[in-house]
Amino acid sequence: MAVTKIHPVKTTLNKAIDYICNPDKTDNQILISSYGCSYQTADIEFGFTLSKARDKGDNLGHHLIQSFAPGEVSYEEAHRIGKELADKVLGGRYEYVLTTHIDKGHIHNHIIFCAVDFTTHRKYVSNKKSYYQIRNESDRLCKEHGLSVVTPGQDKGKKYAEWDAERRGTSWKAKLKALIDDTIPKAKDFDDFLRLMEAAGYEINRGKFVSFRAPGQERFTRSKTLGEAYTVEAITERIAGTYRAKPKALRQEKAGISMLIDIQNSIKAAESKGYEQWAKIHNLKQAAKTLNFLTEHDISEYEQLQAARNGGKLPDFKKLHTEYKELTEKKDKLYQEYGKLKKKVKQYDTIKQDVDTILRQARQPEKEHKKER
């Protein structure tokens, strides 16, 4: 389940973009994408688009945030969903920078887009209608990617009363999850985490499964029932800063051709009949995809496949990296020149306005003199 919110950027656009591109938050800037601009110079490019608008309003851009439930999505998948959302709701008409932040307990996307359409130079209208379009599109993408979307009467095993209680913040589980998320950054280790939870008023059962009970709550709640990010192992890793969300195995079927599972040597298959049945179905689907691929590419002999594999050599990475670096440097120089020219043009505009004012003032006494005659 993803939660969305949006707010305008009225000043310091460059600082807002710098914040969402922070290397510590974006896995060393790996989780950054952009459209219609470069994230390094997006504020300048936004400014150029804004300068062409007749009615740009008071906003320089809009900041859209899409947050995912802890443990439900991987970094890469969250980033893909964010890009699909931006491309859909902005329709390829607005420059944007997308980043995925991984420094907190929950993965979340930041999308900053220009307040003006770069094709017609009309301003983006942010209201209830446009927000609900964003939220509905985000929910649709969550469903497509196998993530939970809680809707009254159409939820996944959750009663409406519990969903409504969670929406209003009164669910025991919702309160417990919120407190765990708030306590983890303060804890030194798992024992310290439990001590802080007790200090917050929770009774703790340290049996086979760690469980919590709030004052007034009838039964204990096992931490692992809150989700993948709330098991003892996950909480310990989150405290240490080593936790990485694991995508659900079933979601792997949506990818292209993947390796077949060796059921005979699989420990999971030996322990679970359900997993073994899923693995067999998965293998059948992958075998069908493999056969389709071979047919489409007219490969009927193993030697042909081997030759095709050997022939598909990747370009030299060092060479590509050097070319990319050279192009980046060239682009940076061009933007520096653009910035200087922009200042110069602005200066000339100011001088022209001053000259026009002086000329108007000079003509005024002459006009008055003619009227007197």
Strands of the chain (E only): list them: 2-9, 32-35, 61-68, 96-101, 108-114, 203-206, 210-213, 221-222
The per-residue pLDDT string of the chain (373 residues; one tens digit each, 9 = 90 and over) reads 578 899 999 999 999 999 999 998 998 889 999 999 989 889 988 998 999 898 878 999 999 999 988 777 888 999 999 999 999 999 999 999 999 998 876 799 999 999 999 988 999 999 999 998 999 999 899 888 888 765 434 444 444 345 445 544 457 888 898 899 889 988 999 999 999 999 999 999 987 789 999 998 888 999 988 888 889 998 998 888 787 665 444 334 445 677 787 777 766 566 666 667 767 877 887 888 888 888 888 888 888 888 888 877 777 777 877 887 888 788 778 878 887 887 888 888 888 888 888 888 877 776 666 666 5
Question: Helix (H, G, I), strand (E, B), or coil: what is residue 3?
Answer: strand
Task: Describe the chain by its helix, strand, coil percentages, rounded to 5.
Answer: 55, 10, 35
Burial of 313 (0-12, 13-18, 19+ CB in 10 A): exposed
> What is residue 50's predicted lDDT score, i.e. its pLDDT?
93
The phi and psi torsions of 214 (rounded to 5 degrees) equal: -80, 160
- Angle between helix axes 75-90 and 128-144 (nearest 10 degrees) is 140
CB atoms within 10 A of CB 80: 16
Of 96, 105, 99, residue with least CA distance to 73: 105
Give how far Cα 360 sits from Cα of 6, 346, 363, 373, Å. 47, 21, 5, 21
> What is residue 269's predicted lDDT score, i.e. its pLDDT?
61
How far apart, in whole angstroms, are the C-alpha atoms of residue 55 and residue 332? 30
DSSP structural state of residue 229: G
List of residues 6+ apart from 37 with CB closer than 8 A: 45, 46, 95, 96, 97
Q: In what order do the strands lie in the sheet with 2-9?
A: 2-9, 61-68, 108-114, 96-101, 32-35
76: its two tokens: 């890469």
Q: Say which amino acid occupies 36.
A: G
> What is residue 194's predicted lDDT score, i.e. its pLDDT?
95
Q: Is 28 left (phi over 0), alpha (psi -120 to 50) or beta?
A: left
> What is residue 195's predicted lDDT score, i.e. its pLDDT?
93
How far apart, in whole angstroms, are the C-alpha atoms of residue 287 and residue 46? 48
Q: In what order do the strands lie in the sheet with 203-206?
A: 203-206, 210-213, 221-222
How far apart, in whole angstroms, are the C-alpha atoms of residue 18 and residue 180? 30
Dihedral over Cα of 82, 87, 89, 93: its sign: positive
CB atoms within 10 A of CB 19: 15
pTM equals: 0.46
> What is residue 325's predicted lDDT score, i.e. its pLDDT?
80
Q: Is 57 left (phi over 0), alpha (psi -120 to 50) or beta?
A: left
Q: Give the strand pairing for 96-101 and 32-35.
A: antiparallel
